[in-house]
C-alpha cells in the first residue's frame, strides 16, 4: 500500500472520528438532564440491579454493570448463567433504541410481573418497553432502521449505542461523587482473575 493511500485513509479516519464526536456533542446538547437525573434514585434504592440490552447496546450496558459493581451495587446481566430471578425491590435497567426488541420487552414484562421496577434508556416514549417502565430516559439518537441520515451519518444506531455508554458513565460518575468512596477502595472490587 502506498504512502499516499495511507495518508488518505488516515485523513478519512480522522474525519470520521471528528464527525462521531460532533454528533455525540450535538446529542448531549439536546438531552433533558433532569430526566436523566431521575434515574439516580431508582438505582440508589434498588436491592439488586439487573441490566438488559441486545447487540451493541447490550455490550455498552455490560460496561455500566461493571462500574455499578465497582460502586458496590449488586448487579446482574440478564442472560448470564448466574443471574438469579428478579423480585420485588429489584431494578431492571433496559436499553433499546426502538423499545420494541422482543427479548427486552419480555424481560421487562417479567420484571413488572415480579413487582420489580423498570427504567429504560431509549429514543422514544412510544413503545411497549416505555409503557412497561417506571421511568424512561430519552436519548434523541437515530434508531437502527433510520437510514435517512438526518439525525446521524453513522450506520445502524451507532450514535444511540455510543450515547448509552457515555450517558451511563456520566450517571456513574455522579453516583460515585454521591457515594464518596475513594478510588483505591473501588479498585479492590475490580476483577482480579483477568
161 as an active site residue: the answer is yes
Give the dihedral sign, CA 167/168/172/175.
Answer: positive
Q: Give the whole-angstrom CA distance, residue 39 versus residue 61.
A: 15
Of 23, 109, 161, 184, catalytic: 161
Query: Own/partner pairs for 154-160, CB < 8 Å, 24+ apart?
Result: 154/19, 154/20, 154/23, 157/56, 157/57, 157/97, 158/20, 158/56, 159/20, 159/23, 159/24, 159/27, 160/57, 160/97, 160/123
**Residue 145, SS3?**
coil
Catalytic residue positions, numbered: 161
Amino acid at each position: 500500500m502506498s504512502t499516499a493511500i495511507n495518508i488518505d485513509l488516515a485523513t478519512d479516519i480522522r474525519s470520521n472520528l471528528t464527525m462521531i464526536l460532533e454528533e455525540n456533542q450535538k446529542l448531549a446538547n439536546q438531552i433533558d438532564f433532569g430526566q436523566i437525573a431521575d434515574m439516580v434514585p431508582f438505582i440508589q434504592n434498588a436491592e439488586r440491579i439487573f441490566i438488559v440490552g441486545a447487540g451493541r447496546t447490550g455490550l455498552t450496558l455490560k460496561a455500566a454493570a461493571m462500574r455499578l459493581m465497582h460502586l458496590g451495587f449488586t448487579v446482574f446481566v440478564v442472560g448470564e448463567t448466574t443471574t438469579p430471578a428478579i423480585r420485588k425491590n429489584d431494578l431492571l435497567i433496559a436499553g433499546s433504541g426502538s423499545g420494541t426488541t422482543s427479548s427486552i420487552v419480555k424481560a421487562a414484562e417479567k420484571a413488572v410481573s415480579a413487582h420489580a421496577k423498570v427504567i429504560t434508556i431509549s429514543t422514544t416514549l412510544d413503545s411497549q418497553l416505555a409503557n412497561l417502565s417506571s421511568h424512561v430516559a430519552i436519548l434523541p439518537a437515530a434508531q437502527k432502521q433510520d437510514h435517512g441520515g438526518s439525525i446521524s451519518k453513522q450506520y445502524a444506531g451507532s450514535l444511540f449505542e455510543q450515547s448509552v455508554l457515555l450517558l451511563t458513565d456520566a450517571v456513574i460518575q455522579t453516583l460515585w461523587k454521591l457515594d464518596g468512596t475513594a478510588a483505591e477502595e473501588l479498585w479492590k472490587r475490580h476483577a482480579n482473575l483477568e
